[in-house]
Amino acid sequence: MSLAKNQKTKVVDSEERKQGRDCAGLVRQLADSNPTVRRWAARDLLECPDFAGVLVDHLHLEKDPSVRDVIFTTLTHLGNEIAVLGLVPCLRSEDVALRNEAIEAMKRLPDEVAPIIRILLADPVSDVRIFAVNILESLRHPQVEEWLIGVIDRDPHLNVCRLALDLLGEVGTKSSIATLCRLKERFPDEPYIQFATDLALQRIGKT
């Protein structure tokens, strides 16, 4: 009985996927009650880059984790401006899973995210700035050190500076020395800042 049921499901899935494979049809299927149909639609919309905005909208509507995962994968492969900018509001979401998936997706798009990283690092919400520094860790972009120096010199939030300091301790060069010294002066009563800054200065001095 179970085997027959599984075979029937596969047939139905196959038939449903054959229907309305044009872009407009795929968009309609994103609202289907069957998550399998929505999942295939999200996957096949990879061939419809002009509909990246529709996929972004569905990120905030989709409740099935497997479907949302495919939407993120498709947006990552599309990697166009609409897809990248559409991920930014997810960083402000109260949905932790949605937020973390957006961060991971942006980490996979270093060249596409680079043009907006300054905007994220200057966001009025400190959590968004923290997420931006997290994204920097994976960008491997030639301006990462410059961006981190800017964060440490200007960001008023301790936790943002701490995270930026940790990363700068790994990638910093002698160009970071003055900034690190200023950070020690900004937070003289923060033991971790003092310790991590000294560690970073020590590492840089040996390079």
Give ∠ CA 189-192-195 in degrees, rounded to 5.
100
Helix (H, G, I), strand (E, B) or coil at 63: coil
What is residue 9's predicted lDDT score, i.e. its pLDDT?
A: 42
Rounded Cα distance, 207 and 203, in Å: 7
Nearest of 70, 73, 1 to residue 29 by alpha carbon: 70
What is residue 1's predicted lDDT score, i.e. its pLDDT?
A: 44
What is residue 141's predicted lDDT score, i.e. its pLDDT?
A: 83
Any idea what DSSP says for residue 22?
S
What is residue 21's predicted lDDT score, i.e. its pLDDT?
A: 73
Q: Where are the alpha helices (DSSP H) in 19-80?
A: 23-29, 35-44, 52-59, 65-78
**pLDDT by 10-residue block (mean), the chain, 207 residues:** 43 50 92 96 96 95 95 96 95 93 92 92 96 89 93 96 96 95 96 96 83
